[in-house]
Structure 1
Amino acid sequence: MTAIPGRLAGKTALVTGGARGIGAAVCRRFAAEGARVAVADLDAGDCEALAASLGGGAFGLRLDVTSQNSIDAAMARVADIAGGIDILVNSAGIYDMQPVLEMSRERMARVFAVNVEGLVFTTQAVAAHMVRRGRGGRIINVASQAGRRGEALSVAYCASKAAVISITQSTALDLIRHGINVNAIAPGVVDTPMWDVVDGLFAKYEGLRPGEKKRQVGAAVPAGRFGTVEEQAAMAAFLASDDAAYIVAQCYNVDGGNVMS
C-alpha cells in the first residue's frame, strides 16, 4: 500500500466526507501521490486541520451535500483557489439502522438525501465544470458491500448504496464521451469510528455485548479481519490515476473476499 510519489502530480482532487474515515485516508493518499487536495466536510475546522497536515497546497472547506447552495459555493471556492477540479471522490455518507417495521419516511429520506441525492448533485456540479474545462477527469464513488447483498436491519442504507452502484454505471456511460471516467469502490467491513456506532446498534437490536458483533463480522471475512481505510484509499488512488484510463463504470470490491465477482 505504498504511495507512488508523483502519480497524481498536477491534479486537484475534491474529497467529500474528507475529514474522517475513508475520506480522510483518501485525502492523505492523494496528497502523498502529489495531488492538491480540497478536504470537504460539514465541519470546516476539521477540514482545515487535516488539510494543514497534508501540505502540497491542500485546503479545507465546508460542504453540505444536501444543500445545492453549499455545493455551488464549494465549487466556486475550489475553482478560485486551485483553478479547477480533476478528481472527485464522493465519500460523504451516513448510516442508519432500523428494522423494517420501525422504518420512518423521515429517516429514510435523510439517508437518501446524503447518500444518493448529495452524490448525484455533487457529481453533476463537478462534471459540468470538467466538461467546460475540456480536460476530462475522474469521479470515484464510495458505495458499500451492503449495496450488493443487503442487511436485514439496514434497509434504507443498503438501498442507498445499491443506488450508488447503479448511478455509477449510468453516469459513467453518459460522461465517458467527455473523457470523464466514473467508477466506484465497494468497501467491505472497514475499521472506522462508524463501525463502533454500528456495533452499538447491533447490541441494541440483537441483544449482543458491545464489541461482539464487530468480533463476529471480522472473523467471518475470508481474509480474517476488518479492512483498513488505507486499503480503500489505495484503490481510490489507482482509479484516480492514468493507470485506470480504460476502466469505466466498474465497482471494485475491496472487502477481503466477502463478495466474489
Structure 2
Amino acid sequence: MTVENKVALVTGAGQGIGRGIALRLARDGFKLALVDLKEGPVLSVAAEIGALGGQATTFEADISDRTQVYAAIDHAEAQLGGFDVMVNNAGIAQVQPIAEVTPEEISRVMRINVEGTLWGIQAAAAKFIARGHKGKVINACSIAGHDGFAMLGAYSASKFAVRALTQAAAKEYASRGITVNAYCPGIVGTGMWDEIDGRFAELTGAPKGATFKKYVEGIALGRAETPDDVACLVSYLAGPDSDYVTGQAILIDGGIVYR
C-alpha cells in the first residue's frame, strides 16, 4: 500500500477506537492530524505516533460546530502539507428508553453524531476539490445503524442517519473521485461501552458488566471487539486497495448483525 506523504485527519482521536485508528494509519505511513474536544488526550497519541517514527499534529475542536471542523482541516493542510483522508470517528452514545428521551438528549446526539459527520463530509470534500485531487471520507457508523436496538433508540436513529449521509454523499461526490464509506463496529471494549453498560445497569438493575457480557456472548467469533479490529478495516478504506468501494457501511462486529 502506497500512502507516503498522504495526510489523514481523525476526529475523536484521543482514546478508544479513534486512538486505534490513528496509530494504525501512522503505521501505514500516513501523516496524522489528531482532533478531539480537548487537546490533552491527543497530545499523548501524537507522542505515541512520534515514537513510531511518524508525524502528527493536534487540534482542539467541537465537531458539532461547522466552523471548527473546517478550521481543523485547514490546520491539517497547513501543518502537514496536504489533505487526503477524513475519518469522521467522533461520536457519543445515548442509552434511554424511547418514552423518556428528552428534547435536549435527542438534540445532543443528533448534533454530534449526525451534524458532526455532515460537517466533516462537507469540509473534507471542499478541501479535496480545492486541492484538485481525489479523496476519501470514512464515517463512524455502528451495528446500530443497521438494526435498531432497545434502549438505544436515539443513538440507533443517529447511526441510521450516518449511513444515509454516507450513501448520499458517495453518489454526489463520485464524479469528483471522492469515495465515502462507513465502518460499523459492534461491541468494542472501550470507555464508551463502559458508559453504556453502566447506564443499562442504572435503568434495568442489572449488575455492572452484565450487559456487556450478554452482548459479547452473542458474538459469533466469541470475543469482544478491540479498537485494532476496527482500525484494520479503516486502514483498508483509507488506502488504495479500496479505490473502487464507495457508499458502503461495512459491518465489522465479529458476527452479530448479518447483511
* Worse-matched range after superposition: 75-84 or 232-241: 75-84
Q: Find the residue that maps to 1:149 and give its secondary structure.
A: coil
Alignment size in residue pairs: 256
2:37 pairs, out of 42, 47, 51, with 42
1:218 pairs, out of 216, 219, 222, with 216
Mapped pair 1:23 → 2:21: no
State the distance in 2 between where 1:217 and 1:257 align.
11
State the distance in 1 between where 2:250 and 2:5 align.
26
- Residue 139 (structure 1) shift: 0.7
Which residue is 2:256 aligned to? Answer: 258
Unaligned runs of 5+ in 2: none
Which consecutive segments of 4 or more residues in structure 1 shift more than 6 A? none
Q: TM-score, normalised by structure 1?
A: 0.95
Q: Percent identical across equivalent pairs?
A: 38
Q: TM-score, normalised by structure 2?
A: 0.96
Which residue is 1:202 aligned to? Answer: 200
Mapping of residues 93-242 of structure 1, within 5 Å: 93-242=91-240
Which residue is 1:12 aligned to? Answer: 7
What residue identity is the alignment partner of 1:65?
I
What residue identity is the alignment partner of 1:176?
A
- Superposed CA deviations along residues 148-184 of structure 1, whole A, max 9, x for unmatched, are 1111111110000001111100001111111111111
RMSD of the TM alignment (CA)?
Answer: 1.1
Which residue is 1:3 aligned to? Answer: none
Unaligned runs of 5+ in 1: 1-5
- Superposed CA deviations along residues 113-156 of structure 1, whole A, max 9, x for unmatched, are 00000110121011101011111011111100011111111111
Q: Is the 8 A contact 2:98 2:154 kept in 1?
A: no
Q: Is the 8 A contact 2:17 2:230 kept in 1?
A: yes
- Residue 83 (structure 1) shift: 2.4
State the distance in 1 between where 2:3 and 2:109 align.
32
- Residue 8 (structure 1) shift: 2.5
